[in-house]
Chain A
């Protein structure tokens, strides 16, 4: 006669579990409801910042795409047809591409070697890569012009080495971004074991780096490149103070005498920058699970 009582107990226990479970679900639902309702202050902050950022854009658009009375795209066409626009954009593209390539070519192998062999230097390297954040570009500009400007015995600005000076400055400014991106990617893969595996198969250091490491950190390289490129494209202080007619410098100048044209171009360059940022975000979102895959539990 003991069996029924056991069953009864079991049923009671089961019921208790079910009730507890239902209670938990109800609580959880209430919690999510609360979370999904956005508080009033958050909405307010969002609205204020949206107005703060979007109003100037709207004003720019209204000013740039009108004659003062009605809508027109004429300032934009004027701008796109302007010689200064073409030359400055070409110049900026050239500087940015060279800077990006240079930064990747220097930083990626350095970060790899630090991770693989010179862990002791990590602190030093990290400190160096923070410096450009700490020291404002204006200091860099003043320093560079004193060192290599027209009053210096090493007058680079007036020589055919002028591009090298600006690219050097841009290199310093972009290295932190590239190093962070590459270093993060390197830390996510087991660099040491992969390198050893490659060596055991007969590959030398260069081949190992190019064939094994670079493909494994390609996403880090892409995001580092995008960051470097956009930084260099948008840089104003160095270029203006050292006297280079880059795109941002041109935009400021044109605003002085063809304001509507300038504003139209500003809007276009703003949209292009946004496209770049969105591309970057898309790349970054793809990152987990696609490339950064470990061989197995360590």
Chain B
């Protein structure tokens, strides 16, 4: 119900940079996830927002008001903690009521609101139970109800589902989203679980080493990652080495085959690049099928089959190409190819498989590891127009 703005927020712990120059605007009623590996600064950013940490620099703005110097109890933000943090000496209902009691709401109103919230979270039957008498999922629902009870302008969720088991986690995350949409609460969700972030967020902020790696809708983040970090962190991503023939003409080369790659825009001529392709986009070809124009081919030997349910993942070791000069290109690491499980038996371990690489839809990034530190990489990361000399 509020618009939240973080402007150039920075925080160090000793020599350690926890958050650096973090800027983000979260719109009214939006759910934004902070996603990243542990130690990437996502929790610190959340705690700065809540007021539990003081930033070294920058500002936290809620609805145009600077709250950076306000103590947490004056910010009116609801928070759900990783370990629930329910008050052990209070029943579920008393936990939910606490924030309202602090606000000196009339008892009648409090009771009504508590009953309503317990109902909304399916907790009516455990209202009189103490936290230690409830299951993890129930405790988490109480924590949510308690945070929402005070009608917070901003709701902060710190890894809310990390302590519950897998099945409950999926149920709860849908429930969180349903509740968040219904109550229209501006929400930040901190998580290291990409499926959690992708499934329920309006936007995802991918964080790495205290800084924003990129911000986008779940679809953008998954389908068109702008950085190698995002590409590697979210889902499985194949990185196929290619050589950029011309960044301006968007031409790349591999195995002597030159193809047009719109994703190569902005890279330097002659630079080594990585073609980023999701496992499910690689298309197995029959032995007789010839390559279509404009795509690349890759032949490999199946090393492992991993059954994933509807699909099966094949891990391919690339076989040397028949033609073309490969000497300058590093070999592809194991290539993941997702095929329908029903047809997976066609490619048992040890068999050879040719796959078509859909170049047109794939992004190409500079291979920073191969090119060394001298190469400017920002142009490649942002994918902006022609790079400078």
Most buried by A among B78, B81, B88: B88
Could you tell me which residues of chain B, from 76 to 94, have a CB within 8 Å of some CB in chain A?
Answer: 76-79, 81-90
Chain B residues with Cβ under 8 A from A291's Cβ? 88-89
Could you tell me which residues of chain A, from 189 to 224, have a CB within 8 Å of some CB in chain B?
Answer: 189-190, 193-194, 196-204, 207, 211-212, 215-216, 218
Q: Which residue on A lies nearest to B164, using beta carbons?
A: A296
Tell yes or no: A294 within 8 A of B by CB.
Answer: yes
- Set B83, B89, B139: member contacting A190, Cβ < 8 A: B83
Q: Are B73 and A204 in contact (CB under 8 A)?
A: yes
Chain B residues with Cβ under 8 A from A207's Cβ? 102
Known A293-B131, A296-B163, A297-B163; contact A203-B102, beta-carbon cutoff 8 A: yes
Tell yes or no: B136 within 8 A of A by CB.
Answer: yes
Most buried by B among A194, A199, A294: A199
Q: Are B88 and A295 in contact (CB under 8 A)?
A: yes
Tell yes or no: A298 within 8 A of B by CB.
Answer: yes
Tell yes or no: B147 within 8 A of A by CB.
Answer: yes
Chain A residues with Cβ under 8 A from B232's Cβ? none
Q: Assign chain B's interface to a size class.
A: 35 or more
Please report the C-alpha to C-alpha distance between residue A215 and residue B94 in the assembled complex, in whole angstroms.
13
Q: Are A216 and B87 in contact (CB under 8 A)?
A: yes
Tell yes or no: B146 within 8 A of A by CB.
Answer: yes
- Set B51, B71, B77, B85: member contacting A197, Cβ < 8 A: B85
Please report the C-alpha to C-alpha distance between residue A198 and residue B131 in the assembled complex, in whole angstroms.
16
Please report the C-alpha to C-alpha distance between residue A180 and residue B257 in the assembled complex, in whole angstroms.
76
B325-347 vs A: 1/0 string, CB under 8 Å? 00000000000000000000000
CB distance from A14 to the nearest CB of B (A): 32
Please report the C-alpha to C-alpha distance between residue A204 and residue B102 in the assembled complex, in whole angstroms.
9
Known A296-B83, A296-B163; contact A199-B71, beta-carbon cutoff 8 A: yes
Q: Are A203 and B73 in contact (CB under 8 A)?
A: yes
CB distance from A48 to the nearest CB of B (A): 45
CB distance from B70 to the nearest CB of A (A): 11
Please report the C-alpha to C-alpha distance between residue A292 and residue B132 in the assembled complex, in whole angstroms.
10
* Interface residue total, chain A, C-beta cutoff 8 A: 28
Q: Are B83 and A193 in contact (CB under 8 A)?
A: yes
CB distance from A268 to the nearest CB of B (A): 37
Known A201-B146, A202-B150, A216-B88; contact A293-B103, beta-carbon cutoff 8 A: no
Could you tell me which residues of chain A, from 168 to 201, have a CB within 8 Å of some CB in chain B?
Answer: 189-190, 193-194, 196-201
CB distance from B381 to the nearest CB of A (A): 36
B125-164 vs A: 1/0 string, CB under 8 Å? 0000011100010010000001100100000100000010
Known A200-B50, A203-B73, A296-B136; contact A194-B103, beta-carbon cutoff 8 A: no
Chain B residues with Cβ under 8 A from A201's Cβ? 73, 78, 98-99, 102, 146-147, 150
- A sample of 29 cross-chain residue pairs with beta-carbon separation below 8 angstroms, ordered by A number, consists of A193-B81, A193-B83, A196-B50, A196-B72, A197-B79, A197-B81, A197-B85, A199-B52, A199-B72, A199-B73, A200-B77, A200-B147, A201-B99, A201-B147, A201-B150, A202-B73, A202-B74, A202-B99, A202-B150, A203-B73, A212-B89, A215-B87, A289-B132, A291-B88, A293-B132, A294-B83, A295-B139, A297-B83, A298-B82
- Residue numbers of B with Cβ under 8 A of A are 50-52, 71-74, 76-79, 81-90, 98-99, 102-103, 130-132, 136, 139, 146-147, 150, 156, 163
Excluding A201-B98, A202-B103, A215-B87, 16 further A-B contacts by CB distance (< 8 Å) are A197-B79, A197-B86, A198-B87, A199-B73, A201-B147, A203-B98, A203-B102, A212-B87, A215-B89, A215-B90, A218-B89, A291-B89, A295-B83, A295-B84, A295-B86, A295-B88
